[in-house]
Chains A and B, each alone.
Chain A
Amino acid sequence: AQTVTQSQPEMSVQEAETVTLSCTYDTSESNYYLFWYKQPPSRQMILVIRQEAYKQQNATENRFSVNFQKAAKSFSLKISDSQLGDTAMYFCASLDNDMRFGAGTRLTVKP
């Protein structure tokens, strides 16, 4: 069965610093997609970044980048120059035939 594991329930970072959120996944499919979603307090979930498994190059979106290690089935999210507005729950998700989410990491950016 497809599983997604986020081993860090909570993390904090000082404003302007860099933080990395971890995610591992397990799938038997060769073609799949990986996502990081952000869910701010009492607000809806929004897509942060996505990665196609067949692409070797790590995806980047402004201050957000991923470290995709396909052999290790690892998909970490790096947030550079952290901002107060980055405070949220972050969910890692994988999609092959089904969409599966991890349990989330609560990130707090401190001023």
Chain B
Amino acid sequence: DTGVSQNPRHKITKRGQNVTFRCDPISEHNRLYWYRQTLGQGPEFLTYFQNEAQLEKSRLLSDRFSAERPKGSFSTLEIQRTEQGDSAMYLCASSPKGGMSTDTQYFGPGTRLTVL
């Protein structure tokens, strides 16, 4: 399978715990995006990377959220001190070379987070 992969697919945690998600983009794609999707809504942009550089962060990304892409390949999204409001599907997408305005993004299956 050469698509975008995400792990884990499901995560249940208790409030206050830290969680980390991983995204492996399509291999030749240099841009990687993170989105959050709540039930019945469209995805909301969180952040994106070009290679290892984090170029943009949404206001939705509070200081409890951090994302990395250390070698320009896979990326991790960490949420510290989780809150019930963090419960959502976290989607990763990647896109090939080119300016952002020309991107077509390919999405992974998502990680569904439930905070109890």
* Interface residues of A, Cβ cutoff 8 Å to B: 4, 31-33, 35, 37, 43-47, 50, 91, 93, 95-104
Contacts and interface: CB of A to CB of B under 8 A. Distances in A.
A102 to B, nearest CB: 5
Given A32-B101, A96-B101, A99-B33, A46 B107 contact: yes
Nearest to A102: B42
Interface residues of B, number: 22
B104 interface: yes
A109 to B, nearest CB: 20
A102 B40 CA distance: 10
Given A44-B109, A46-B107, A103 B40 contact: yes
Interface of B: 3-4, 33, 40-45, 56, 91, 100-110
Q: Give the dominant DSSP class at A's interface.
A: strand
Contacts of A44: 3-4, 107-110
20 contacts: A33-B101, A33-B102, A33-B103, A35-B104, A44-B3, A44-B4, A46-B107, A47-B104, A47-B105, A50-B104, A91-B43, A95-B103, A99-B33, A99-B45, A99-B105, A100-B45, A103-B41, A103-B42, A104-B41, A104-B42
Contacts of B41: 103-104
A64 to B, nearest CB: 15
